[in-house]
Amino acid sequence: MGIQERKRRERKRRRRQILVAAKKVFSIKGFTKTTMEDIAREAELSPGTLYLYFKNKDELYASLSVEILEHLYNKLKRVYVKEAQSPQRRIDLLKQTLFEVYEFDPLILVNLFHLQSSDILKNLSAPMLAHIRDLSQKTIDLIARIFEEGVSGQVFIEKPPQELSNVMWALFSGIVLWEESKRIINDQSVPVHPAFDTAFEIFSRGISR
């Protein structure tokens, strides 16, 4: 292992060290209330060092979400690549992958939504921004393709798009997600209401017996 390689690894280790500290502090104090000094202290580094690895606070914050998105995308690629798999099997793997991501960071949704706010996006470097856009686009495409193939292979029923169904579904699920996020943030053991198991089905299908 050359000296170059050793340095590269050392650098990666530091980056990780900072990200771990940042994730911890952000999830406790929230984005605004967290100071760069808080993170530095948690990482046992000086404030200045943080800026050797991340352009600014926003970019450090965004990097946390990017990490998970990358993980998700790479996992999904592997799900999709294996030719032999049936659409049904792919759905199962998709679910499993999503759950893994969730276990790694239960706040992923809250963070992604916050990342979306113009507050943060405007301070990111162009490459970082492009990377995020590209990554989320490819992830969405991949997920969509899994379902499309199921439909075209006639394994899944094709359901004609319903007027506004997506938006309404999004609103409905958003409200439930909001409940869910309260549970996560406050770390209370209040489960989502069980009635929603049925609700999701009905609402998204627009079907009843």
> Considering only residues 102-141, where is the footprint of DNA by CB under 7 A?
123
* Residue 143 contact, options DNA, its own copies, none, Cβ 5-8 Å cut-off depending on partner type: its own copies
Q: Which residue's structure tokens are 């352009």? A: 55
* Residue 45 contact, options its own copies, DNA, none, Cβ 5-8 Å cut-off depending on partner type: DNA
Residue 57 is a binding residue for DNA (CB under 7 A): yes
The nearer residue to its own copies, 47 or 174, going by C-beta atoms, is 174
Please spell the DSSP secondary structure of 54-123, one letter per residue. -SSHHHHHHHHHHHHHHHHHHHHHHHHH-TT--HHHHHHHHHHHHHHHHHH-TTHHHHHHHHHSHHHHTT
The residue range among 32-40, 77-85, 95-103, 136-144 that interacts with DNA, by the rule CB under 7 A, is: 32-40
Measured at the CA of 29, the angle between CA 23 and CA 30, to 5 degrees, comes to 75
Calpha distance 146→89 (Å, rounded): 10
Tokens of 204: 């998204």
The residue range among 9-17, 63-71, 155-163, 190-198 that interacts with DNA, by the rule CB under 7 A, is: 9-17
Interface ranges with DNA (CB under 7 A): 7, 10-11, 14, 33-37, 45-49, 51-52, 56-58, 123
